[in-house]
Amino acid sequence: MVVPQSEAKRVKPRSSEINRKSGEVVPDGMIKLEGAPLIQVFEIYAKLKGRKADHAFAAPSAPLVFNGATTLTVDELLYALDTLFSWQYLEVVPVGDDMLRLAPISERTR
């Protein structure tokens, strides 16, 4: 687990759930987020999931940074983005059959 020490107690790794045998891959160097706005990263996330982004919740956030220096499966990339969102106290929740929304992580899941 690579997280800031201040976050270590609240981070719950789920890496064992990642489907690493997925046929879809993101080549190394393809994803490079250098201070990307949260909303743009969420748009990428929704597209990777085959859904639309619902912007009903406008969350203030620090710019996100992620460099996909190695080849990742789509599931690995989604896991990494979920982790970045969680560091902003946000999680992705489904809305209906074809949309996703960012929502504050509830107190019980922190």
**Domain range spanning residue 74?**
26-109
Total of domains in the chain: 1
What gap in Å lies between CA 78 and CA 26, rounded to an integer?
A: 11
- In the prediction, which pLDDT does 1 show? 61
CATH of the domain at 78: 3.30.1370.120
Tell me the residue ranges of DSSP E strands in the chain.
25-26, 32-36, 52-54, 64-67, 72-73, 90-95, 99-104
Residue 2 is assigned to a structural domain of this protein: no
- In the prediction, which pLDDT does 2 show? 63
Two tokens, residue 6: 């201040």
Residue 95 phi, psi (nearest 5): -130, 110
- In the prediction, which pLDDT does 20 show? 66
Residue 13 is assigned to a structural domain of this protein: no
Q: One digit per residue, pLDDT tens: the chain, 110 residues?
A: 667 778 777 777 777 777 666 678 888 888 888 989 998 999 999 999 999 999 877 667 778 888 888 888 898 899 999 988 988 889 999 999 999 999 988 754 44
Give the pTM: 0.79
